[in-house]
Amino acid sequence: MLLEVRDINKSFDQQPIIQNIDLHVATGEIVSLLGVSGSGKTTLFNIIAGLSKPDQGQVLLNGHNNVLKPGNVSYMLQKDLLMPYRTVLDNVILPLLLRKVPKKTARQKALALFKEFGIAGYEHEYPQELSGGMRQRAALLRTYLFDKPLTLLDEPFSALDELTKRTMHQWYIDMMHKLHLSTLLITHDIDEALVLSNRVYVIAGRPSQIVDELRLNPTRDASVAFELTPDFLTYKRRIITDLGV
């Protein structure tokens, strides 16, 4: 198993935030963790990324303990955090520079991927000159260049308008297949979780626990927009009931 999260508990100021969290991600899967704002998703994200210590429980990456071991997953935070004073190219090569790859080699490696990520022609622009969708693509390219077996995404598309978001979803699914990515996605967007995922964990309650796990039909007809099918509505109704919203 690529990622196994076992019985994670975390409190802040003696206030339990997440409790008995168990989840897993297999190689090649895209799995969503879905919950309302404040349910502890980012808290769990930081623990999985090795940035924060749980009070209890284990995080295993390919069977190895990852508690307080940052640098073993590729991750992208809610905000794209592109630096305004660096060009897009110089933003995306940061993970390579952190690994001490020489700048010229890093630039060559990144340049070869701009087309694939749909941002060819924007290499020497500054982030503020890009649309929201383009910025996210650049941020995802930077995340990809961390080159780790698991990608963690914290609400990567939440700032985008509906139409751009739809395009980005389809694009991300295609990229997942092309680049053989494995992804854990954190989101509060039910439609997004359903459209993108192989499985969805629903997190709810106080403290938050996993209250449901949905396995979405892997053989669904790709020529029909999933969000327009009766199956989609059935899943959505189930999640709304789980969340009590």
Ligand X SMILES: Nc1ncnc2c1ncn2[C@@H]1O[C@H](COP(=O)(O)OP(=O)(O)OP(=O)(O)O)[C@@H](O)[C@H]1O
By beta-carbon proximity to ligand X, the closer residue of 43 and 136 is: 43
By beta-carbon proximity to ligand X, the closer residue of 37 and 234 is: 37
Tokens linked to 13: 């100021």
C-alpha span between 195 and 216 (Å, rounded): 9
Site string for ligand X, 179-218 (x = CB under 6 A): ---------x------------------------------
Q: Considering the complex, what minimum distance in angstroms separates the CB of residue 25 from ligand X?
A: 18
The residue from 9, 42, 209, 229 that contacts ligand X (CB under 6 A) is 42
Q: Considering the complex, what minimum distance in angstroms separates the CB of residue 133 from ligand X?
A: 21
The residue from 19, 39, 74, 197 that contacts ligand X (CB under 6 A) is 39
Q: Considering the complex, what minimum distance in angstroms separates the CB of residue 13 from ligand X?
A: 6
Q: Which stretch binds ligand X (CB under 6 A): 24-32, 37-45, 94-102, 172-180?
A: 37-45
The residue from 19, 32, 43, 151 that contacts ligand X (CB under 6 A) is 43
User: Distances from the Cα of 195 to the Cαs of 15, 80, 86, 225, in angstroms?
Assistant: 34, 22, 34, 9
The residue from 19, 25, 35, 144 that contacts ligand X (CB under 6 A) is 35
Site for ligand X in 116-175 (CB under 6 A): none
- Per residue, the 3-state secondary structure of 112-123, as one string, reads CCCCCCCCCCCC
By beta-carbon proximity to ligand X, the closer residue of 39 and 91 is: 39
Q: Considering the complex, what minimum distance in angstroms separates the CB of residue 38 from ligand X?
A: 5
Contact (CB, 8 A) for 239 and 214: yes
Task: Compute the radius of gyration of the chain from its Cα atoms.
Answer: 18
- The three-state secondary structure class of 104 is helix
**Which among 136, 179, 129, 170 is positioned nearest to 154, based on CA atoms?**
136
C-alpha span between 117 and 112 (Å, rounded): 10
Contact (CB, 8 A) for 65 and 232: no
Is the bond leading into 207 cis (omega within 30 degrees of zero)?
Answer: yes
| Residue 213, beta-bridge partner list | 201
By beta-carbon proximity to ligand X, the closer residue of 17 and 93 is: 17
Contact (CB, 8 A) for 11 and 173: no
Q: Which stretch binds ligand X (CB under 6 A): 9-17, 89-97, 139-147, 211-219?
A: 9-17
- The three-state secondary structure class of 138 is helix
Residue 57 interacts with ligand X (CB under 6 A): yes or no: no
Q: Which stretch binds ligand X (CB under 6 A): 39-47, 98-106, 213-221, 227-235?
A: 39-47
Q: Which residues bind ligand X (CB under 6 A)?
A: 12-13, 17, 35, 37-43, 188
